[in-house]
Amino acid sequence: MNLSEKLTQAVKDAVQHLFKAELETVEIQPTRKDFEGDLTVVVFPILRVAKGNPAVIGEQIGAYVKEHLAEISDFNVVKGFLNLVVADAYYLDFFESIRPDKNFGHKAPEGKAVMVEYSSPNTNKPLHLGHIRNNLLGYSVAEILKASGKKVYKTQIINDRGIHICKSMLAWQKFGDGETPESTGLKGDKLVGNYYVKFDKAYKEEQSYLVAQGKTKEEAEKEAPLILEAQDMLRKWEAGDAEVVALWEKMNGWVYAGFEETYKNLGVDFDSYYYESNTYLLGKDNIEEGLKKGVFYKKEDGSVWCDLTEDGLDEKLVLRSDGTAVYMTQDIGTAIQRVKDHPDVGGMIYTVGNEQDYHFKVLFLILKKLGYDWAENLYHLSYGMVDLPSGKMKSREGTVVDADDLVSEMAETAGKIAEELGKLDGYSNAEKQELYKTIGLGALKYYILKVDPKKRILFNPEESVDFQGNTGPFIQYTYARIQSILRKAEELKVPVTLRYENLQPKEKELIKQIALYPETVQLAAENHSPALIANYTYDLVKEFNSFYQQISILGADTDAEKSFRVALSKKVAEVIESAFGLLGIDVPERM
């Protein structure tokens, strides 16, 4: 039983003993900084069962709790709030119990697994800024769920078929002159993306020509020779034409190699991949099954629909009149297939932008109606757009910010700021470049993940690399500072495990902050929110810096003080490293 549970029971016992009344719930919160105490019991709800003056009732309950709970050493009552002082011994015992635990805050996996889908790109262009937020969110939520005690599978579905893919293929065929990633020195996804842009340019020129010949804009869009050729190529691909399929495989192969490089640079990974070219026919059998169950109905034209009007939604098409699938059909089939592939999966999380909110409401509801028990545990990790201050880091096309470019520009920005601060004497050039990448990527990830996923972000690169305030580099710098203290402690041969008795207020506050880590991990998992981990880590670092400024660590009077404070600093560093690991951020040993 943890302290909060013990205290809840003690307050219930006090009310039973003093007022012969049953108390169902007890409201406990951390004591406000301006009052003495660690935990506060709110007295007002207790007045429902114990009549009288709240201050007097608070005093009576406080006295009972202090007498019956060894962990409570004192109390005071302020305006209906019972502030309880937790004994130093409790915090010291707690600290000793977690000190050797390298997995503090993490639970071993139990129960059903969760599948987290993220990234899910198209194979006609490189990953961009929007994909960065998607990847960072999906990866971090997967890591947080793992830490909270879930088995996790990370996956993505790759949109590798359709007219947009054929546009890149056709443009390469027409204008490519046999170019390859090797011959151009370009990453494969960049090369293919360039041909998607070339197609668009040539297609627009054809439209302009047709409009000049007297066609309407709509007619020109439909009749331009390039789009007709692309549609013909798509039909050939769907029919399995050997030449078209070979070209498709070759160009997609280039793109996948490029994506893998970007994922590696971003520090994200996957356990499995699903491809639309394999899944686009899935779901049709499930529609048949749903028709038999009465979940779907057929219209006169042969199209199949799901009526969700009683659920406050609309009617949804799930199969066209010609028997071809729509996205919804495919998503239904893919979800069912994933559970077949991983029978231990009991829920799924889809990391997809908020423009798809309605789609996922419909998908989850249809899967529930089809009777799948795991459909109760589906979650759309919906997120807002990322914007840049205008004019910053525009890609060559002038509209989309390329993910690779952004990552390397972040390292450059970190380098400039670090050079100005002059913190890197004695580093080799290779060490500097590695550090700039760690700081730049940490800045980018932290800036994006500290914000609630649902909110839109204005990403400011310079602001994110600030070494002060609620930023990744500020937290990384604190971690590096602690590592420096630990190295000096080793040089000075500070004893490791001397017993410490008299806890200073700043030490106590730091232990209290460390103690919040396990529940923060659980809360972040429940809310699918890396922002809770990011902001917890910032609070821990602020608390450490306040402790560091006011209390001497290596210059302490006694060996017992030095030993304890070094151990406390080490634990703070371990928690920072663990929490940042959940955000996918590395911490440097020196900075």
Encode pLDDT of 340-365 as tens digits.
Answer: 999 999 999 999 999 999 999 999 99
Per-residue pLDDT of 6-64, as tens digits, reads 999 999 999 999 999 999 999 999 999 899 999 999 999 999 999 899 999 999 999 99
- pLDDT above 90 (res 266): yes
Residue 578 included in any domain: yes
Tens of pLDDT, residues 91-108: 999 999 999 999 999 999
Amino acid at 518: P
State residue 287's pLDDT score: 94
Which of 562, 514, 563 has its CA nearest to residue 539? 514
Say which CATH number the domain at 570 has: 1.10.730.10
Q: Which residues contact 246 (CB under 8 A, 6 or more apart)?
A: none
Q: Is the pLDDT of residue 400 over 80?
A: no
Of the residues 68, 86, 104, the one at which a domain ends: 86
C-alpha torsion sign, points 349, 352, 358, 362 = negative
Domain boundary among 63, 86, 109: 86
Helices 505-515, 559-582: crossing angle, 10 deg rounding: 30
Q: Judge whether 541 and 475 are in contact, CB under 8 Å.
A: yes
Where does residue 267 fall: left (phi above 0), alpha (psi -120 to 50 degrees), or beta otherwise? left
* Mean pLDDT across 428-438: 93
The closest alpha carbon to 129, from 501, 392, 337, 311, belongs to 392
Q: Which residues of 569-588 are buried (b: 16+ CB within 10 A; e: fewer)?
A: bbbbbbbbbbbbbbbbbbbb
* Mean per-residue pLDDT over the chain, rounded: 94
CA dihedral 323, 327, 331, 333 (to 10 degrees): 10
**Residue 570 above 70 pLDDT?**
yes
The predicted model gives 369-383 an average pLDDT of 97
The pair phi, psi for residue 364, each rounded to 5°, is: -65, -40
The structure's pTM equals 0.93
Give the pLDDT confidence of 239-249 residue by residue, as tens digits. Answer: 999 999 999 99
Q: What is the pLDDT of residue 426?
A: 80
Domain count, the chain: 2
pLDDT of 398 strictly over 60:
no
Per-residue pLDDT of 442-475, as tens digits, reads: 999 999 999 999 999 998 888 899 988 999 999 9
Tokens of 125: 């262009």
What pLDDT was estimated at residue 183? 97
Q: Between β-strands 304-307 and 315-319, what pairing exists: parallel, antiparallel or unpaired? A: antiparallel
Domain annotation covers residue 149: no
Q: Give the mean pLDDT of 202-212.
A: 95
Specify the DSSP class assigned to residue 160.
-
Spatial contact of 263 and 135, defined as CB atoms under 8 Å apart: yes
d(CA 439, CA 340): 41
Give the span between the Cα atoms of 100 and 96, in whole angstroms.
8
Give the model's pLDDT for residue 389.
77
Domain of 26 in residue numbering reads as 3-86
Which tens digits make up the pLDDT trace of 132-180?
999 999 999 999 999 999 999 999 999 999 999 999 999 999 999 999 9
What is the token pair recorded at 241?
């034409």
Helix, strand counts (H, E) of the chain: 22, 14
541 located within any domain: yes
DSSP-derived pairing of the beta strands 81-86 and 72-78: antiparallel
Residue 349 CA to residue 115 CA, distance in Å, equals 6
Place of tokens 């670092």: 541
Q: Looking at residue 394, what is its pLDDT?
A: 44
Domain finish residue from 46, 66, 86: 86
Query: CA–CA separation, 58 vs 66, rounded Å?
Result: 12
pLDDT at residue 324 above 90?
Answer: no
Q: Tell the residue number behind the tokens 């700039």, with chain if given.
A: 436
In a domain, 103, yes or no: no
| Farthest CA pair distance, the chain | 95
Please say whether the beta carbons of 401 and 127 come within 8 A.
no
pLDDT band for 395, please (50, 70, 90 cuts). very low
pLDDT class of 396 with cuts at 50, 70, 90: very low
Structure token pair of residue 61: 């309950």
Task: Report how far residue 455's alpha carbon sits from residue 368's, in angstroms, rounded to the nearest whole number.
Answer: 28
Q: Residue 591: what pLDDT?
A: 86
The stretch 260-277 carries a mean pLDDT of 95
Q: How many CA atoms lie within 13 A of 435 on its CB side?
A: 22
- Position 64 scores a pLDDT of 98
In a domain, 157, yes or no: no
Helix (H, G, I), strand (E, B) or coil at 184: helix
Is 397 domain-assigned?
Answer: no
Stretch 433-442: mean pLDDT: 95
pLDDT computed for residue 427 by the predictor = 86
Model pLDDT, residue 57: 96
Is residue 564 situated within a structural domain? yes
pLDDT value for 500: 86
> Which CATH number goes with the domain that contains 68?
3.30.1360.70
Q: Which residue has the higher pLDDT, 476 or 398?
A: 476
- Write down the pLDDT at residue 401: 83
Band (397; pLDDT cuts 50, 70, 90)? very low
Within a domain: 235: no
Please work out, in degrees rounded to the nearest 5, the angle formed at the alpha carbon of residue 114 by the alpha carbons of 112 and 116.
175
Backbone angles phi, psi at 379, to 5 degrees: -140, 135
Q: How many Å apart are CA 432 and CA 418, to the nearest integer? A: 9
Q: What integer is the mean pLDDT of 295-323? A: 95
- From the list 21, 35, 33, 27, the residue with the least C-alpha distance to 4 is 27
In whole angstroms, what is the distance from residue 59 CA to residue 82 CA? 8
The winner for highest mean pLDDT among 111-115, 460-464, 557-561 is: 111-115
Q: Is the pLDDT of residue 515 over 60?
A: yes
Higher-pLDDT residue of 375 and 401 is: 375
